[in-house]
Homo-oligomer: A and B are copies of this chain.
Amino acid sequence: MESMMIYMPIAMALLGLAYMLVKKSWVMKQDAGDGKMKEISDYIYEGALAFLNAEYRLLAVFVLIVSIALTAVSFIVPTTHWLIVIAFIFGAVFSAFAGNIGMKIATKTNVRTTQAARTSLPNALKISFGGGTVMGLGVAGLAVLGLTAFFIIFFHVFMGGVWTNTMDMTIVLETLAGFSLGAESIALFARVGGGIYTKAADVGADLVGKVEAGIPEDDPRNPATIADNVGDNVGDVAGMGADLFGSYVATVLAAMVLGNYVIKDMGGNIGEAFGGIGPILLPMAIAGAGIIISVIGTMLVKIKNNDAKEAQVMGALNLGNWVSIALVAVSCFALVTWMLPETMQMNFFGEGLQDISSMRVFYATLVGLFVGAVISSVTEYYTGLGKSPILKIVQQSSTGAGTNIIAGLATGMISTFPSVLLFAGAIWASYAFAGFYGVALAASAMMATTAMQLAIDAFGPISDNAGGIAEMSEQEPIVRERTDILDSVGNTTAATGKGFAIASAALTSLALFAAYVTFTGIDGINIFKAPVLAMLFVGGMVPVVFSALAMNAVGKAAMQMVNEVRRQFREIPGIMEGTGKPQYDKCVAISTKASLKEMMLPGILTIGFPLVIAFVPMIFGMDSLAIAEMLGGYMAGVTVSGVLWAIFQNNAGGAWDNAKKSFEAGVMINGEMTYKGSDAHKAAVTGDTVGDPFKDTSGPSMNILIKLTCLIGLVIAPILGGHTVETAVTDTMMKHEISKEIKVEMESADADNARAVITASYTEDGKTITEEQVVEGTLEEVKAKITELKNKENN
C-alpha cells in the first residue's frame, strides 16, 4: 500500500515556493529609488545576468558531456539504469534555476534596501531580509520538490509504487543519486567560479582604483566597481545557495539510502505502515517540515526601533534562527515517533544486530541540531570583532605584516581544534545512538533549517550591495549608516554561515560515505591494506592542491582585471573627471570569462581523481571490491583533509578580515589608540589580502570538493560493487543465513559469472552433519537455485 505521507514533502515544498512568490512580488513592489540608484542597480543586475548566462552555456556543454558518459555507462553496466541521466539533467537544471532565482532577487533587493534605508531601518531590514527569504525558500523548496518528485517517479517505475524488497529500492536510490550529482556539479561551477569571480574583481578594483589611482572604494569612475558588486552576488549569494542546495539534496538522499539499509537489517520488510518505507520517507518528511518551519522563522525577524543598533538586528535574526531550530527539534520528535517502528534492528560493525528504539534516532537528530548551532558560535569566537583571537592578531600587526600573517594563520589552525572535536563527537554520538542512519539523520535535522540559514546568509551581501549603491549614488550619510548596521551584522552572519556550510558538508559527506559502503557491498574500508592507505594519502593531498589552484586562479584573473582597468584609465578620455564613461561591461566580461576558465583545472582534479582511481586499476584487471575499498580510502582522505582545510582557511580569512576592520573604530596597541592609515593597519590590510582568497575562494570550495567527491563515488559504486546481486540474495533470506539450517555465502556476484556456496547442516546423534553445495552460473541461475533450496527447506 502506498502511503499518502510520500506526498507530504512535495506539498510542503510547494507551500514554501508559493510563500516565496508572495514574498518576491512584495519585494519587487517596493520603491526602487531614483535615476542614479536605479542605473547602478541595473548595471549590477545585468552583470550578474551576464555571468549566469555564460555559466549556463558552459554548464550546458558540461551537462551534455556527462549525460553522454552516463548514458554509455548505463548501457554497459547492467546495474545502472539510464533514468539516472534524466535525474542528473534535472538536478543540474533545478540547481541552476534556484541560483537564478536567488541572484535575480538579490540584485533587485539591494537598491530597494538602499531606498528604504533613506527613511527607515526596520523597513530596510524587512526588505533585505525579505530578499534573503526568497532566496532561501527558492533553494530549499526546489531541492525538496525535485528530490521528492523524482523519488516518487522512480518508486513507481522500478517498484510500481509498492514495497517489494531492498534491492529494488537500492536501484531507485542509485538512480536518484543522479539528481544529487547534477545539483552538486552545478555547485562546483557556482561556488568555485563565483569565488574566483568575486575576488578577481575585488582585488582588481582595489589594486588599480584605490592604490594606483587613489579613488575611494565603490567609486563609479572605477571600471571594475560594478564587477566588484556583481562578485558579491555571484560568490556570496549564488555560490552559497548552490552549495547548500547540493548539501540539502545529498543529505536527504544519503539518509534515504541508509533508511533502506535499516529495512534490510530488519529482514527486508517492516510492515504496512507508511507503505513499508517509513525510514526512507522520514528524512524527506523532516526536510518538508523544515521548509514550513523556516517560513515561520523568517516571519519573526523584524525590528521596530528606527534607532536600533547591530545588537537589536542580530537579536532579531537570532530569534528567528533559534525558534526554527527548536521547532525542527519538536517536529523531529513527532515525525520520528510517528513514522519509525518503535524498535528497529540495526547492524553495527563488529557488534552485530542491535535493537534500536526510535527515540535514539530522535536523539541523533538533536546531535545534528546541536552541531549546527554550536559550530556557528565556534566560528564566531575565532573570527568575531572584539574576540580575543582577533585582538591578538591586531596586537601582532604592530610588529609588521609578517607577525600579522603568522598570527592569522595560527588562529585559523587552532580553530580546527574545537571544530574537529565537535564533529568527531557528533559522528560518535549520532552513530552510537542509531548507527550511520543516525549520522545521516543528524545531518538531515541540521539541514532542515537551510531556508532560514540561507535567508540570514543572503541578507548580508544584499545589505553590502545596498551600502555600495548608497555610496555610488551619493546618498546622505544616514543612509550609509543604516546600511552599515545591516552590513556589519551581515559580516557576522556570513562567517557563521560559512561554519554552517562546512558542518553541513562534513556531515553530508559522512552520510554519503556510509551510503557508498552500503552501495558497494564491501565490508568496510580497512586502511591497514596498503593500497587503501596510499589512497588515503592521495585523498588527503587533493584539498591542499585544490586550494592552491584556486588561490593561483584568483591571482591570474586579478592580473587580467588590473590590466583592463589600467587600459581604460589610459585610453578613455575624461574618465577620471567623470565625463568619460567607464566600460563596466568589459570588466564584467573579464571576471566572467576568467573565473569560468580558471575553475576548469580544480574541477578536473575533483572529478578526474576518483574516476582514475576507479577505472585505471579496473583496466589492469584489479578486483572491483578492492577498487571500491581504495576509492573509499580516497573519499575518507578528501573528507578529513578537506574539512580541516575548510575550517583553517575560512577562519583564518575571517579573522584577518575583522582584524583589519578593528582599525576603523580604532584599537589600543601598546597603550596607544591606533587607527586606519597607521603602519599596523597597513600590516592588517596585507593580512586581509591573503585572507580574501582563503575565505571567499579556496576555503568555501572545500565544501563542494568533499561532497562532489563522495557523490561521484556513490554514482560509481554500482559499477564497482556486485551489490545488486548480493542484495537480491540476502534480502529475502537475511544475510548469509536463510534459516538456521542453510547458510549462503556469495563468493562472486557477477551478472554472468556468479558463484555461491550453500551449506546445509543438521544435527544427528549429537553430531553436526553438513552438506555443502557450490552453485555456479549466471546470477539469475544462482538466484533461482537459492530460492529453490530455500523453498525446499521451508516445506
Contacts and interface: CB of A to CB of B under 8 A. Distances in A.
Contact of A767 (B350, B413, B770): B770
A686 B761 CA distance: 77
Interface in A736-795: 761, 767-772
A604 to B, nearest CB: 14
Number of copies: 2
A365 to B, nearest CB: 16
Contacts of A690: 402, 405-406, 409
A396 B555 contact: yes
A766 to B, nearest CB: 9
A755 to B, nearest CB: 17
B534 A410 contact: no
A87 to B, nearest CB: 26
A523 B528 CA distance: 9
B770 A551 contact: no
A430 B772 CA distance: 39
Interface stretch (A28-36, A214-222, A307-315, A634-642): A634-642
Interface string A394-416: 00100111110111011101101
Contacts of A594: none
Given A402-B685, A416-B544, A439-B530, 17 more contacts: A400-B686, A402-B689, A405-B405, A407-B555, A409-B690, A410-B551, A420-B538, A423-B537, A428-B530, A428-B531, A431-B530, A524-B527, A525-B528, A528-B632, A640-B640, A640-B641, A767-B769
A76 interface: no
A77 interface: no
A537 B768 contact: no
Interface string A524-568: 111111110111111011001101110110010000000000000
A406 B416 CA distance: 21
A532 to B, nearest CB: 9
Contacts of A527: 524-527, 632-633, 636
A163 interface: no
B514 A693 contact: no
A517 interface: yes
A555 B686 contact: no
A552 to B, nearest CB: 5
Interface string A681-714: 0000111111001000000000000000000000
Interface in A257-296: none
A580 interface: no
A4 interface: no
Nearest to A629: B350
A73 interface: no
Interface residues of A, number: 84
Nearest to A428: B534
Interface in A364-418: 396, 399-403, 405-407, 409-411, 413-414, 416-417
A403 B548 CA distance: 13
Interface of A: 207, 349-350, 396, 399-403, 405-407, 409-411, 413-414, 416-417, 420-421, 423-425, 427-428, 431-432, 435-436, 439, 510, 513-514, 517, 523-531, 533-538, 540-541, 544-545, 547-549, 551-552, 555, 626, 632-633, 636-637, 640-641, 643-644, 648, 685-690, 693, 761, 767-772
6 contacts: A350-B526, A417-B541, A425-B534, A432-B530, A517-B528, A536-B636
B544 A402 contact: no
A405 B769 contact: no
A632 B533 CA distance: 12
A740 to B, nearest CB: 15
A562 B747 CA distance: 70
A424 B644 contact: no
A535 B636 CA distance: 12
Contacts of A549: 414
Contact of A555 (B406, B533, B534): B406
A531 B641 contact: no
Contacts of A427: 530, 533-534, 537
Contact of A770 (B436, B689, B770): B770
A552 B350 contact: no
Max chain B CB contacts within 10 Å: which of A547, A633, A644?
Answer: A644
B552 A401 contact: no
A348 to B, nearest CB: 8
A289 to B, nearest CB: 26
Contacts of A640: 536-537, 540, 637, 640-641
